[in-house]
């Protein structure tokens, strides 16, 4: 007679499987509890990891990609995955207009006409760590036509980081107190190690991100 052996699987194998099931359950529960804001931030950071070149840049450049880019253009802070802020409140920021990724740019100045920005809502407000202030760029419009969704198209800004060469892995936007149609849906981000005298030339920049700003769903 042949005896059928009892199950010889060691106890530690059962314990290992049980831990794996519990870990999977906890991970699923965390995903379900993730807020909409956390999801948007994670999606944008993942996109950066997928597209950006892993090189340190001393200058950053942000521009719009679509006609519906808002007049209240850039409003937020830039972060690394560890939430280390790359920008300080003393950054020197230059407004741009008539610009596209890979193309040369024109400096924007304070004023009320085409190619200017609101003198009281300047580029310095972008990284002042105050979510009440904002930057308003008129782009192809003037002060009397700022309610058109096309006004902020192909506007932008650039700065040379006071902290020196850094690796950008994420970007965060806050909406301003204007029309939702002005929220920047699509952006480009470029990096450069060229001297300041060459930063208006498109050839000085390397594209590191082209895609959603993270505001394409209701914030």
Mean pLDDT (whole number) for 37-49: 52
Residue 99 pLDDT greater than 50, yes or no: yes
More confident call, 156 vs 50: 156
> On the CB side of 145, how many CA atoms lie within 13 Å of its CA?
14
Higher pLDDT, 62 or 153: 153
Contact 179, 81 (CB under 8 A): no
Percent of the chain scored above 90 by pLDDT? 23
Nearest 10 degrees: Cα torsion 92, 149, 182, 140: 10
The pLDDT assigned to 30 comes to 60
- How, if at all, do strands 109-110 and 116-117 pair? parallel
Give the range with max mean pLDDT: 1-15, 16-30, 88-102. Answer: 88-102
* Contact criterion met (CB below 8 Å) for 85 and 161: no
Q: Is 115 left (phi over 0), alpha (psi -120 to 50) or beta?
A: left
Q: How confident is the model at residue 95 (pLDDT cuts 50, 70, 90)?
A: very high
Inter-residue contact 78 to 89 (CB < 8 Å): no
> pTM (2 decimals)?
0.63
Give the closest residue to 212 by CA, choosing from 90, 22, 85, 65: 65
Between CA 187 and CA 210 the distance in angstroms is 6
Helix, strand or coil, per DSSP, at residue 73: coil
Burial class (CB in 10 A: 0-12, 13-18, 19+), 151: buried
List, for residues 59-76, the tens digit of each pLDDT value.
666 564 333 333 333 333
Q: Which residues pair with 188 in a beta bridge?
A: 63, 210
Query: Which residue's structure tokens are 């400096």?
Result: 107
- pLDDT tier, 115 (very low <50, low <70, confident <90, very high otherwise): very high
Q: How far apart are CA 188 and CA 103, in angstroms?
A: 12
Comparing 17 with 118, the larger pLDDT belongs to 118
Instruction: Check residue 173 and give its pLDDT.
Output: 80
Q: Largest Cα–Cα distance of the chain, in whole Å? A: 100
Give pLDDT tens digits for 157-212: 999 888 888 888 788 887 778 777 777 888 899 999 999 899 999 999 999 999 98
Instruction: Measure the CA–CA gap between 176 and 133, rounded to whole angstroms.
Output: 8
- The more confidently predicted of residues 119 and 22 is 119
Under a CB-based contact definition with an 8 Å cutoff, are residues 59 and 121 in contact? no
């Amino acid at each position: 007679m042949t005896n059928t052996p009892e199950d010889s699987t060691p106890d530690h194998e059962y314990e290992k499987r049980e831990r794996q099931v519990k870990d999977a359950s906890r991970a699923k529960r965390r995903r379900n509890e993730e807020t909409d804001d956390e999801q948007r931030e994670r999606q944008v950071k993942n996109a950066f990891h997928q597209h950006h070149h892993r090189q340190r840049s001393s200058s950053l450049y942000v521009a719009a990609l679509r006609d519906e880019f808002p007049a209240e253009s850039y409003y937020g802070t830039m972060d690394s995955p560890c939430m280390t802020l790359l920008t300080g409140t003393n950054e020197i920021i230059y407004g741009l207009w008539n610009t596209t990724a890979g193309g040369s740019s024109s400096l924007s100045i304070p004023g009320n006409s085409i190619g200017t920005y609101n003198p009281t809502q300047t580029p310095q407000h972008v990284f002042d760590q105050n979510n009440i202030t904002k930057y308003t760029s008129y782009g192809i419009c003037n002060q009397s036509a700022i309610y058109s969704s096309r006004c902020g198209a192909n506007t932008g800004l650039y700065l040379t980081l006071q902290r020196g060469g850094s690796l950008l892995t994420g970007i965060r936007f806050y909406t301003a107190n204007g029309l939702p149609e002005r929220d920047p849906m699509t952006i480009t981000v470029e990096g450069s190690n060229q001297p300041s005298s060459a930063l208006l030339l498109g050839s000085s920049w390397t594209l590191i991100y082209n895609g959603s700003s993270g505001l394409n769903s209701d914030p």
